[in-house]
Structure 1
Amino acid sequence: MPINHDGIWPEVRPTAEGRTHSVQFSPDGRYLISGHSGDRERVWDLASRTPLFEWTDTHEPVFGLEPATVIDLEYLPLGGTLLHSTDLRTGHTRTREWPYEDGWPVSGVEGRLEFLVTTSDGDKAIVDAGTGVVRCVLSGATDEVGRSVASRDGRLLATPSYKLKNDPIPIWNAEDGTRRGVIPFGGRSSTVVFLPGARCVIAGDGTTRVWDFATEAVVTELDGDEIALSADGTRLAVTDEEADVVIYSTDTWEPLVTLEDTGSAYAMAFSPDGSHVATGHDDDSIIRMWDSYSGRPAYDLSGVTREVHALAFSTDGQRLTTVTDDEVRIWDIGGERPAHRLPAPGGAVHTVAYSPDGSLLAVADDETVRFWDSTTASPAGALEPTGSPVLALAFAPSGGMLATACEDGTVHLWDAGREHVGVLDGLGRPAWYAAFHLDGRHLVVADDDTVCLWDTGTGKLVLHLADIEDRVDAVAIAPDGRGFAIATDSSDRLSVYRAAGTEPATPYTDTVSSLAYSPGGALAVGSDENTVHILKDPGSGDWNGFLDGHTGLVRSLAYSPDGRLLAAGCDNGVVHLWDTESERRLALLMALDDGGSAIVRAGGQRIVDGSPNGEFHFWGVR
């Protein structure tokens, strides 16, 4: 459940990135819960249209029967389950032990909140969420029963299988647990809702079917399989093949209105009064509200897209530079002032790098590399533009050479006097990664398809570090100069090599967006989750640590030179600063809308230079 209920860490405005897989209104229509990729759940205040919470690693939170409460189960790593009840008005959470090993909310019942659970005897039972008392045991239910939907009067229960795709759907008498019948199709991918008049709707595999219990037959079929039923049961919203949402009358099954240009609606829900339909989509985290009668857009519940796409520590570890929405800020890690803010005349900052002696900060501002005094943040010159945006920077360990990798596929070499001394040509694709080898002569360069080693002395390609079949998303070179890690896109695979030509370990099979080696050789992995994974011995492929609770999807990573700090930049403009030894979060660094900055340290200390304007807030604890 939420990590911020002690009031120490703020709730931060969420990101608009990722996808949305669920939406649900509170019974009074004042709040909405939306579920997103990265195991994130958000609670929205619909009156102000602002987010109240973003929680991670929750288990299908649902609204409780008490006003403005959310119920959630937490499974403990060493066994046992806790039930949390959160008051949305105060942020206060009450917690008690849950006497079952699991619990799935029973949707559709009016007047009570219930869970489908597995008892200590292995039975499937319906229990009261408030007391845990068993109301009925489903006679003969199998282990495949994992979800349940009740009729509005609570008398019937459908339990689609969560394992078997084409398994029939049992129908139960929810009063005594006896089996009433079966719908002969459905299964793992199906959604079920009960209609008035002894009917129900089963949606799955691209089709929505209406089942009549009296005739035991399908009476209507509709295109699409994402559905939502109005509270009075008179209207059904269905996403059709064109990705539009069509609202049908459940009496005549004639279309009443179409919500056009909804995009790829992946989740839907009617408001309790039926006036609006909320849609969530598989290509962003924005919740769109629609007038359910006219079909016109009403308003959006939107996060922020403010990706922290580049990070760099100074050589003494006392300053951290971040790039967020083409804003460059220098943060004083131990000081009392939030940050320097550097201008970006080119308007498209891609990356930053400190010189090895720590005196200069190089900023790739579109086609120009500008230098700044790292202590005073005063201008210190620039390189001559080469005619293409600079995507990556790399200083040689001695400081005697700087490499600038460009969008046109060229890598330009500059000496300590900022004179152009050479070019590496022949990639043919944008070069977005560059890192010098320890010897200061060889340079690793990556584009979307290749990761190669170049000799800066001869300007020749030396070798391809690995055979890559998919698009390259992230690269990192180990501090020993031999090992490296490559994350690829379509196969969602992280490959960790001890050296070129060796068989890689593949410890992770999900989208990886950022990689960073510590000075000691540990590998940090950021992905489309809110967790940073740590491999202390990357070549082994064994995970050793997890840093949880990021406020957005992790997009950039950087270790301090001594390896004691790890900075994780998220796609909502927040940087999390971690102590790597204790795995404890030390601070949040935030760039504010008004150009100001905010630092929030462990214990709740806040240093704010600007007006947050709702970008973050603290909840008091009662």
Structure 2
Amino acid sequence: MSTAGGFKYAAFISYSRAADGRLAPALQTALQRFGKSWLQRRALRVFRDDANLSANPALWSSIQTALEESAFFVLLASPESARSPWVVREVEHWLASRGPDSLLVAVTDGDLQWDSFTGQFDPTMTNCLPAVLHGAFPDEPRWVDLRAFRAQEQVSTRAPLFRDRVADLAAPLHGRDKDDLIGEDLRQFRRGRRWAIAAVASLAALTVVAAGASVVAVQRAAEAIEQRTEAKRQRDDAVYHRVLAEADHLLTSDASLAAQLDLVAHRMRSDDATYSRLVAAGAGPLSVPLAGHTAAVVSVAFSPDGRTLASSGLESTVRLWQIPATTGPVTSEESSITGHKGRVTTAFSPDGRYLATGDSAGLVRLWTRSSNRWEAAGEPIQAHDGVVGVVAFSPAGPVLASAGTDGTVRLWDVADPARLRQVGAPLTGHEGRVLAVAFDPKGTVLASAGEDGVVRFWNVSDPARSALLAVTPVGHEAAIGSLAYAPDGRTVASAGNDGDVRLWNVADAAHPIAGRVLNGHNGSITAVAYSPDGRIVATAGYDRDIRLWNVTDPSRAIPLGKPLTGHSNVVTDLAFSPDGHRLASSSQDRMVRLWTVPYLTGHADTVLAAAFSPASGLLATASADTTIRLWSLTDPDRPAVVGGPLTGHQEAVNAIAFTADGRVLVSGGDDGTFILWNLADPSSPVPFAAPVPAHDGVSNLVLRPDGRVLATAGADQRIQLWDVADPAHPQPVGAPLAGHTAPVRGLAFSPDGRVLASSGNSPDNSVRLWDVADPRQGRAIGGPLTGHANTVSWVAFSPDGRVLSSVGTDQAVRLWAVADPAHATASGEPGFGHTNEVYTVAYHPDGHTVATAGQDGTIRLWHTADHSLAPLGEPLPADAAGGTAFATYANDAVLVSAGADRVVRLWPMRAADAIRRICESTAELTAEQWRQYVGVEVPYTPPCD
């Protein structure tokens, strides 16, 4: 057997597993056997991924190698393969490296139409080819029609029609005429049959011999079982790596579906790689698609209690969804609201008793809930000449605003829902359609916007005498399709078709001031929404992405994480749930998606440190914005803000620590002081005393495990110990610990409190150990521990105190054996993986894992078994632009990280918790998706069962 041109394979079969999972293996077998002699195993070698690809983590590189080793490319063309990213990638690679001459097309489904005028396939009539092939052929190629065989449960490779079609493909592979090849195949088949008859005649004579060979047969049977087992293992390995590759590919288009595939891979093989992927997915924003609409969805609105979501669109219907308070499936209510014409928009009243709708006929209606049904509260009113584009309730009283394509805004008295009446004259002045309205939180100002690209502000404190307050001094360069007020009423966000979101300072609504412009979308922006706490703005538009922005300080708004992906068409509307934990989105793809929003926001600058108290369940975070914030992690899935920010420092707060009982918090900052806080009432913390001067900038501080001794360090290269047994009267203890030759960065007490570790900036670059068993007589233990090539940023003791870990700007993670501090030595080889400075290192409470965080914006997990380092899975993508300032374990279940993007992230460190979050926040993988992304080799098993 040989292959033309010295290629390993005569052909490479590219296909969709979901569409042609049965036909492709049959075609491979037929091509390999066509024209073979009875002595040959096969006439040619044909590559098909599942048959030829062994376990290999680098899936694409293996496929690329197979492509380069193949003489021809056989495309099983179908609508599914045309959409398959893997098939498209294989076709693109073949065209780039080999061109179209050796590419053969076999159509298994769909339509194919050549346009002789343009000299290419007609894209309007062809749905089974990847777009890259439409104009790839210089002349109309001959293609083979296999559509008759796709639906067959089992394709007979000797069926005359199938053999004829196979011969069309086999002829160029053999470099022979089709008729000659068919004749040769028939001769070989007849010769094989004659030999088979002769073999049967000889069988009787061999019976005695066969009896004597029974032992050999048993041995061969055992070998066959072993071979089948190995084949299954290799198949499972190939499927496992394919699933991971599909999940990677989906991350940028549908992260929630990618999370389901990560879970499939984890069910197949519970290893470090799938564990870290589950942790990453479980910590991120995920979505559940709500299906039911039959046309584009244009509006979503939450009820004030967050238990009902209304969605509406172009199908004249409002659908209502029951939203669970914490966890559980989202369900459609028994009844939907019908009777509208065309496009429908919705809004809930502030008390949740009524739902307002507006439609394409210009009608506005109020609906009220009765048992499980929504009923009309009265007759509809003809509100506008043309489409009602938006409706909004005033938060201050029984007033509803509506706006439409007639260019007007109208106010309605809804005190009597059965008899709506217009209040005052229509608000006019916009040029063209009015597309958006929004009330300020007090209900005294109404903002409106539309096709003219400006925002108008109206005084509606007396709706009967509404008056224009102001028009934005500069406008968007195109229509404004959405408006949203910040909950404090001081900022308005406007979303425009020019691709910008503008934040307007409206502290004085009569004089709006242009503020920060948020850009990042590709195309028109159709929706903008504020979170209930006002710290996050969500935007969406034509690029199908949803972007989140940290607007805690509107003048310094920055992107928050990566875009939320999942919709397959324009995103039309956004709405946060009242508790801020969920975000609803609607789209022209006829879907509503319900997203989790897992970020803790509130700081207006880089978050520099965090500390957790197991005793109280409180998480404290410190920031360059000079504040400290408290959060309750009693339920890590729904963290809650506790009280307001702790203020007292004049500059950035660099370090914080809790006492063991959680009743005292200590903080230190660039202002050179530390403060001890009384947390007897966590909702109203107060300082025990005035800030205590300590250094020329407190770079770090740690409490001894018993909470009675505090160590502080700073730019003066010294470490000071303090007696804080009485938090109201802290006193320095002993002389400063001196030895570092540069500012001190890292500090850590050993678990027994007898040893203090410290590390220094460049050019010191060392780790030092101090005997502090008697704080009054602190002294150095041994010499400095050297090995880092630059600043040593952080140090941490293992829970048993026998190992110290250090990290630094040299990107290294190092372990030190410190069971005998006087003879501390390096333990194992340093760990590398970060691509920039490593800021912090923290031990998991079990002591078997450390987490490191760095300027590259990632968190890495490391095994520390046997006091040596080994990477644990893949890096966790913290997505913190400017770096992840720290990562620290709150407990054995939660890792906390934060950084330059000013948000705090919680990572589920138990696989079971990550799986639960994924299953609660995404849709179950369907059987069809299983066939498409996993394949037909492994039986469908819903990963969340």
TM-score range, shorter chain: 0.3 to 0.5
The two structures have a TM-score, normalised by structure 1, of 0.41
Name whichever structure is richer in strand by fraction: 1
The two structures have a TM-score, normalised by structure 2, of 0.27
- RCO comparison, higher one (Cα < 8 Å, 6+): 1
